[in-house]
Amino acid sequence: MRAKIEIIKYSKLYLPFVEDRRSAIVKQVFDLLTREGFRVSDPLPGGTTGFDIIAKRESLRLIIKVLQNIDTLRNSSALELIRISKLTYAAPLVVGRKAGGGPLEHGVIYFRHRVPILSPETFQDYLEGEMPFISSGPGGFYASIDGKRLHQRREELGYSIGYLSNKIGTSRRSISLYESGSAVTIDVYLKLEEVLGEDLGKSIDLLDVSRNLEMPPDDSPMDNDFLSEVLNLMMIHGMDFHPVRKFPFDAVMKETLEEIFLIGLMESLDRNMVRITSMRNISQIFENDSFVISRLHTTREHLGGCPVINLAELRDIREKEKLQILIEKRKLA
């Protein structure tokens, strides 16, 4: 563990780096997930900017966006990635190759707009059970430490806070903060390890990071009349309905804590088969249902594995239970 830190801290060499195209990184991530036993969605078609891969293994759900340069992640894209992850009980993640002028360091977790970011190599470590404990922040790299173990070890050795602070070359308040769980610089981590004779590194659990993310508000203007009408109808029916943007689907409807529906709003069914296929694929990976609301009248009740409901039918429904019955009926069609 220390060797990895020393490489990060002391290496001044810039290793030659030839950028892989984004598609190559997507394939690498797809292969890693498949090898580690995840059910993985097919990479989404070009033009979809929300995310690239959906993956699930047991209770772990991941929504992954792939970038060559993580500096290109915009705040609006990050907020929507967080929002969809909270709606689908998944963990958002970006896998990238470089930031600024160089490659992402192996073993380090980065953040842009609160979204965790890993290199493909660090992501592989994570999938194999080795979570990072070093994060990139303002001014350099920081180590996450086990504050409780730090306190116990200090008392085992009979060191006062004042004594330890003098040995480390920091303030008493800093030692108290470290024992409360604050991250430390790499220099301080190495000194603590040397003085206390123990590795105090604490893994950064991406699921904990995801749980601590707040649900971003949906404050974008509702400039789509179709979506606006469907939203109003769903609210009248008492449905927990959330529009989303930049995804193969247009909304998430939640019936219970575990039961969600991915919803596509479409003018024409035939011209949207790629979207329908992608939406169905994602719902199968997450083991949730999906259905399509067609603005134009159609006699189809099922298309591409998705139930179809006409907007006119939605307008005629007056009770939540009848909508639920119609959805279930179309699922069996």
Q: Which pLDDT tens digit goes with each residue over 276-305? A: 888 888 999 998 889 999 988 888 888 878
Q: Which helix (H) or strand (E) holds 309?
A: strand 306-310
Q: Which helix (H) or strand (E) holds 312?
A: helix 311-316
Mean pLDDT value of segment 118-139: 93
Determine the pLDDT at residue 98: 92
Domains of the chain, start order: 2-142 (3.40.1350.10), 145-202 (1.10.260.40), 225-331 (3.40.1350.10)
Q: 């409901």: which residue's tokens?
A: 309
Three-point CA angle 59, 60, 66, nearest 5°:
155
Task: Judge whether residue 136 has pLDDT over 50.
Answer: yes
Determine the pLDDT at residue 191: 95
Determine the pLDDT at residue 46: 52
Q: Are 91 and 85 in contact (CB under 8 A)?
A: yes
Task: Judge whether residue 214 has pLDDT over 80.
Answer: yes
Mean pLDDT of the chain: 86
Determine the pLDDT at residue 217: 81
Task: Judge whether residue 183 has pLDDT over 60.
Answer: yes
The DSSP string of 83-145 is HHHHHTT-EEEEEEEEETTEEPPTTEEEEETTEEEE-HHHHHHHHTT----EEEETTEEEE-B
Find the Cα–Cα–Cα–Cα dihedral 167, 173, 176, 180, rounded to 10°: -130
Determine the pLDDT at residue 14: 37
The fraction of the chain above a pLDDT of 90, given in percent, is 55
Give the long-range contacts of residues 216-225, CB within 8 A, separation 24 or more: 216/79, 216/80, 216/82, 216/83, 218/83, 218/242, 218/243, 220/245
Buried b (16+ CB within 10 A) or exposed e, 299-328: eeeebbebbbbbbebbeebeeeeebeebbe
Task: Judge whether residue 6 has pLDDT over 60.
Answer: no
Mean pLDDT value of segment 24-47: 86
Task: Judge whether residue 273 has pLDDT over 50.
Answer: yes
- Residues 130, 124: Cα–Cα separation, whole Å: 9
Determine the pLDDT at residue 17: 40
Task: Judge whether residue 12 has pLDDT over 50.
Answer: no
Task: Judge whether residue 40 has pLDDT over 70.
Answer: yes
Determine the pLDDT at residue 175: 95
Three-point CA angle 185, 186, 188, nearest 5°:
65
Task: Judge whether residue 11 has pLDDT over 60.
Answer: no
Determine the pLDDT at residue 45: 59
Mean pLDDT value of segment 163-173: 94
Q: Are 103 and 141 in contact (CB under 8 A)?
A: no
Say whether 25 sits in a helix, a strand or coil.
helix
Determine the pLDDT at residue 18: 36
Mean pLDDT value of segment 106-118: 95
Instruction: Give pTM, 2 decimals.
Output: 0.84
pLDDT tens digits, residue range 215-270?
988 766 667 888 889 989 888 888 888 998 878 888 999 876 567 899 999 987 87
